[in-house]
């Protein structure tokens, strides 16, 4: 049993997902929550009362995007460890402000880039790091969903509250996986569009990334006009490939999480579907893995290496370029 004293700001869907994982992994005690729209077994305080609570040492921020930066900085200044959902802020400049406070107060700060903690992604990461398949040559990601007219009433459809559209909502996860698995990118080309929903935010983002040193390229299509939920990550290397189709998520709408692995052939015939090893991941352990990693880092006083503020900075630098180009 770890001994974190936890406050959760925002107790909607994400706050309750975090609560469940906190309880399951027994990382500490939930002292209070802060959400005017929720009734629960916990004491319900204001945001500031959570942040300034003398007993609370760790805060989970699960609020609409526009509150993330403000609440993170306030919590760091109150000498709290912070776990914050994505996106970290609305720009790289805002992330720099957060990093300044993080470094000054010396607390642990982690962001909810949950996809890194899926067992399939951990498998891909281990295979890439082993160098068994050689260097990454290119990557391609598609992440899409269908929304209904009800989305107009959601805060995610308002730029002032969300900061952006489908790219910040979903595409940010795929961009994060590109960085985590394949490395950094310094060249960004993009097109964003809003041809169907005509909302305040984009409904499609097309992004091409390049590492100018290695020549490695990655492409992303993030969309809310997919008409069906789809997740597909493809990574091709010198000696083979990994293709992950489907993802176990809280919505359970992206299908089975299946990882295909194969070695390439340098002579004819080319690799066939039958050459692939297929691994199906039937249980989503990502939420549990994530809070456990956060807790263990705090308890051992080790730096956050997966989902830290510098990862967030890299992401927002790319996203700034996408929105400026678009």
Is-contact 99 313, C-beta < 8 A? yes
Q: Which of 71, 68, 66, 77 is nearest to 100 (CA)?
A: 77
What does the buried/exposed string (b/e) look like for 248-274 if buried means 16 or more CB atoms within 10 Å of the residue's CB?
Answer: bbeeeebeebebbbbeeeeeeeeeeee
Quick one: tokens of 126? Answer: 């281990």
Q: Which of 45, 46, 96 is nearest to 69 (CA)?
A: 96
DSSP result, 35-95: -TT---SSEE--HHHHHT-SS--EEEE-S-GGGHHHHHHHHHHTT-EEEEESP--SSHHHH
Sheet holding 217-223, edge to edge: 187-193, 204-210, 217-223, 136-146, 225-237, 240-245, 257-263, 277-281
Model pLDDT, residue 243: 97
Model pLDDT, residue 37: 86
Stretches where the chain sits below pLDDT 50 are none
3-class secondary-structure state, position 139: strand
Give 3-state DSSP helix, strand, coil % of the chain, rounded to 5: 40, 30, 35
Model pLDDT, residue 268: 61
Quick one: tokens of 89? Answer: 């802020």
Quick one: tokens of 133? Answer: 């398949």
Report all structural domains of the chain as residue ranges with CATH numbers, in order of start.
Answer: 4-113+288-302 (3.40.50.720), 119-283 (3.30.360.10)
Q: 42-85: per-residue pLDDT in tens?
A: 999 999 999 999 999 999 999 999 999 999 999 999 999 999 99
Model pLDDT, residue 208: 98
Q: 235-260: per-residue pLDDT in tens?
A: 999 999 999 999 998 888 999 999 99
Predicted TM-score of the model (pTM): 0.95
CA 261 to chain centre: 24
Model pLDDT, residue 42: 96
Is-contact 147 227, C-beta < 8 A? no
């Amino acid at each position: 049993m770890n001994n974190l004293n936890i406050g959760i700001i925002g107790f909607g869907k994400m706050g309750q997902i975090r609560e469940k994982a906190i309880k399951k992994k027994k990382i500490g005690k939930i002292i209070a929550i802060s959400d005017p729209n929720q009734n629960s077994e916990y004491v319900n305080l204001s945001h500031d009362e959570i942040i300034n609570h003398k007993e609370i040492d760790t805060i989970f921020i699960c609020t609409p995007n526009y509150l993330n930066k403000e609440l993170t900085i306030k919590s760091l200044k109150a000498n709290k460890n912070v776990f914050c959902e994505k996106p970290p802020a609305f720009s790289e400049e805002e992330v720099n402000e957060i990093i300044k406070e993080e470094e000054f107060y010396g607390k642990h700060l982690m962001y909810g880039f949950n996809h890194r903690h899926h067992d399939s992604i951990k498998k891909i990461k281990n295979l890439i790091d082993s160098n068994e398949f050689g260097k990454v040559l290119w990557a391609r990601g598609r992440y899409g969903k269908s929304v209904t007219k009800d989305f107009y009433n959601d805060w995610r459809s308002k730029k002032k509250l969300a900061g952006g559209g489908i790219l910040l909502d979903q595409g940010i996860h795929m961009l994060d996986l590109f960085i985590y698995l394949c490395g950094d990118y310094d060249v960004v080309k993009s097109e964003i569009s809003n041809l169907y929903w005509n909302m305040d935010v984009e409904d499609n983002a097309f992004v091409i990334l390049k590492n100018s040193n290695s020549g490695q390229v990655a492409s992303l299509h993030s969309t809310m006009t997919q008409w069906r939920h789809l997740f597909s990550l493809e990574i091709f290397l010198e000696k083979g490939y990994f293709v992950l189709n489907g993802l176990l998520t809280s919505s359970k709408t992206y299908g089975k999480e299946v990882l295909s692995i194969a070695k390439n052939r340098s002579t004819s015939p080319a690799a066939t579907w039958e050459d692939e090893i297929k691994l199906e991941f039937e249980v989503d352990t990502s939420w549990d893995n994530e809070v456990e990693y956060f807790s263990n880092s705090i308890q051992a006083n080790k730096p956050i290496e997966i989902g830290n503020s510098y990862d967030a900075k890299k992401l927002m630098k790319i996203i700034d370029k996408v929105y400026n180009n678009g």
